[in-house]
Amino acid sequence: MSMRFLEKLLTFTFDIVAFNLALAASFWFRYKSGLFPETYDPSISFLSLLFPIAPMLLISGGWFLLFFLSGLYREWYKESRLDEFFVVTRTVLIGIALVFLITSADQIVAFFKSGDPGPLFTRTKFGVLATYGLCMLFFATTNRFAMHTTMASLFKRGLGVNRLLIIGANESAEKLVREMSHYPEMGNRVIGFIDDDGRKKATTCADLPVFGTYSDLPAIAKKEHVAGIIISHVSTSANEIMRVIEYTGDLSITIYMLPGLLDVISGHFKTHQIYGVPLMILLQDHMSPWKAQIKRSIDIVAALLVLSLGAPLWLFLAWLVRKTSPGPAFYKQERAGKFGRPFMLYKYRSMYVDAEKRSGPQWATRHDPRITPVGRFLRKTRLDEFPQFINVVRGEMSLVGPRPERPFFIEQLKKEIPWYVRRLKMKPGITGWAQVKHKYDESIEDVKQKVMYDLYYFENMSLILDLKIMLRTVLVVFTGKGAN
């Protein structure tokens, strides 16, 4: 279990406790403490504070969903405590406003019907909601500050830190190591260097080893459990960056760079840190973690609905495939997922059995004789892709993203198409911007065009864009405006 996962698990657990403590504390303050005479009730016993399980679960679930949507379960240890406090405050205010709307629903309806809201917002109701809001704010922020203080203490002791490599064993790299050593609470620790000068291999820099050259990066990153790489020199050329990406494109690691003046002026570098070493993330995800979590939740719910509600149609299509050509109804094939991780992709079989036995791996062509008549219809309407909802449920794919490619072709595409590895930073999808804008791949030129669309999606990734792509995909399915 990683330290980051442990932090999120503990934050969630303590949040559940905080939600219920806030409810119990506000109830006690208003009705039992005697601090508020207008609501004090001496007949209320301590047992009254033990709320029924169902309301507690409902309230906790509501606050958890609101905190989740506000991004309060992302990695806040990297950011300012003040920023986090402002987000918690904003979220609590929204939550209290929702509680008011829910509890005052009858009066609001009466107001619109007769113009008389009745006791819509009495002094007592305001006091109760204000007390509840203050208790929520206190327990939620106390929980988070205590958690981050604990995490910072563990980081200072070297527990759960990100292990980093620095590209370039030089004077600027030594300076960077010294600066980073002043902020151990950020959870980063440099373990060594990579330098393209082979003569430096097995030497030291800033009392840390030089592990090897760029070509050694994949092996070293796996052996040393590296979480990130820092390119230390600001004047790094595009060719050098491309070489680093080429060796690390299919690894699940973060690439950092020191920002230059041009990055700051052009607006490509933004930071919320008020301490620590400012680093710019190369190929940074443009969808924030909390939005990515929402995207994953939508994936799971939509996939389960499609698989369950569409079961009769999927069974009919399976029967139709088997009835019209000998062989199984489904076809599975190894594809490369996020960071190049292999997985088995499922589709309705649209080609004759053993179609590639003689020809070997190749792209389908417009009038490909290997495609069955039913398969041609399935491909044109994208219905052959529906078994991939199983891949979505398993977390190997998303509803929207670049199409997963076969490892055989990826090795060729890396050489043919610059920045192709950037495509591997995204989880593949059933549909995507390239799929609704372009036809099936028939040549390397088609792939190059689709990569352009995929990179556009990467740069503009959002939940709204996902919705637009899914709507366009539905039109393709119903109109048949797909590949031939």
Most confident of 73-82, 100-109, 370-379, 431-440: 370-379
Average pLDDT for residues 285-305, to the nearest whole number?
83
Task: Write the pLDDT tens digit of every residue in 321-364.
Answer: 888 888 888 888 889 888 778 899 999 888 877 666 555 555 56
Q: Which fold has domain 162-282?
A: Rossmann fold (3.40.50)
Of all residues in the chain, the percent with pLDDT exceeding 70 is 75
Mean pLDDT for 205-229 is 86
Which pLDDT score is estimated for 266? 47
pLDDT of residue 484: 41
Distance between CA atoms of 459 and 287, rounded to whole angstroms? 9
Mean pLDDT value of segment 263-283: 59
The counts of H helices and E strands in the chain are 17, 11
Q: In whole angstroms, what is the distance from residue 366 CA to residue 355 CA?
A: 15
* Residues 8-20, mean pLDDT to the nearest whole number: 83
- Report the SS3 class of residue 66: helix
pTM of the model: 0.60
Residue 104 has what pLDDT? Answer: 65
Give the domain ranges of the chain. 3-156, 162-282, 289-479
pLDDT of residue 400: 92
* pLDDT tier at 9, thresholds 50, 70, 90: confident
Reduced to 3 states (helix: H, G, I; strand: E, B; else coil), residue 274 is: coil
Cα(200)–Cα(206) distance, integer angstroms: 13
User: Does the pLDDT of residue 475 top 70, yes or no?
Assistant: yes
Q: What is the pLDDT of residue 143?
A: 82
Pairing status of strand 280-282 against strand 330-336: unpaired
Q: What is the pLDDT of residue 483?
A: 45
pLDDT class of 105 with cuts at 50, 70, 90? low
pLDDT beyond 60 at 261:
no
Kindly state the DSSP code that residue 426 receives in the 8-state scheme: S
What is the DSSP pairing of strand 254-257 with strand 280-282? antiparallel
Least confident range of 101-110, 175-184, 265-274: 265-274
Q: Which two structure tokens, joined as six digits, stand for 148? A: 């981050």
Q: How many Å apart are CA 417 and CA 237, to the nearest integer?
A: 19
Q: Which residue has the higher pLDDT, 120 or 12?
A: 12
Residue 180: Cβ within 10 Å count: 19
Q: pLDDT band for position 299 (50/70/90)?
A: very high
User: For 114, what's the count of Cα atoms within 13 Å in the CB-facing half-sphere?
Assistant: 6
DSSP H helical ranges for 159-237: 171-181, 217-223
Residues 6 or more apart in contact with residue 320 via CB below 8 angstroms: 374
Could you give phi then psi for residue 340, rounded to 5 degrees?
80, 10
Q: 64's torsion region: left (phi>0), alpha (psi -120 to 50) or beta?
A: alpha
Top pLDDT among 476 and 458 is at 458
pLDDT band at 84 (very low <50, low <70, confident <90, very high): confident
CA gap 217, 211 in Å, rounded:
9
**Of 88-92, 229-233, 283-287, which has the strongest mean pLDDT?**
88-92
Per-residue pLDDT of 406-416, as tens digits, reads: 887 777 777 77
**pLDDT on residue 46:** 52
Q: What is the pLDDT of residue 393?
A: 93
